[in-house]
Amino acid sequence: MQGDQGIDKARRKGRGAGFNPDNRFERLVTRAEEDGWPRAEDAEDLPPLRTEVRAERVGKLITRNASPDLGFDRSINPYRGCEHGCIYCFARPSHAWLGLSPGLDFETRLIARPDAPEVLAREVARKGYRPAPIAIGTNTDPYQPVERDQRIMRGLLEVLRDFRHPVGIVTKSSLIERDIDILAEMAGEGLVEVGISVTTLDAGLARAMEPRVPSPARRLKVIERLAGAGIPVRLMASPIVPGLTDHEIERIVKTGAEAGARSASMIVLRLPREVAPLFRAWLEEHHADRAARVMARVREVHGGKDYDPGWGKRMTGQGVYAELMQRRFARARKAAGLACDLPPLRRDLFKVPPRPGDQLSLF
Helices (runs of H) and strands (runs of E) counted in the chain: 11, 10
Q: How far apart are CA 357 and CA 35, in angstroms?
A: 70
Q: Which CATH class is domain 51-336?
A: alpha beta
Of 227, 222, 231, nearest in space to 190 by CA: 231
Q: Give, for 109, the enclosing helix (H) or strand (E).
A: strand 109-112
Question: Given this model, what pLDDT does residue 143 score?
Answer: 98
Summarize the confidence of residues 256-278 as an average pLDDT: 97
Question: Given this model, what pLDDT does residue 31 score?
Answer: 62
Q: Give, for 153, the enclosing helix (H) or strand (E).
A: helix 152-163
Q: How far apart are CA 252 and CA 206, in angstroms?
A: 13
Residue 341 pLDDT more than 60? yes
Residues with Cβ within 8 Å of residue 174, at least 6 apart in sequence = 214, 218, 219, 221, 222
> Tens of pLDDT along 290-317?
999 999 999 999 999 999 999 889 999 9
**Quick one: residue 128, left, alpha or beta (phi over 0 = left, psi -120 to 50 = alpha)?**
left
Q: How far apart are CA 11 and CA 44, in angstroms?
A: 10
Give the E-state strand segments of 155-294 in sequence order.
167-171, 192-197, 233-240, 263-268
Question: Given this model, what pLDDT does residue 116 score?
Answer: 98
Q: Are strands 167-171 and 134-136 parallel, antiparallel or unpaired?
A: parallel
What is the reported pTM?
Answer: 0.92
Question: Given this model, what pLDDT does residue 35 score?
Answer: 63
Q: How far apart are CA 102 and CA 12, in angstroms?
A: 15
Question: Given this model, what pLDDT does residue 2 score?
Answer: 45
Residue 1 pLDDT more than 50? no
Question: Given this model, what pLDDT does residue 21 score?
Answer: 92
Question: Given this model, what pLDDT does residue 355 score?
Answer: 76
- Other CB atoms within 10 A of residue 340 CB: 11
Distances from the Cα of 16 to the Cα of 85, 173, 215, 241, angstroms:
5, 16, 15, 16
Domain residue spans of the chain: 51-336
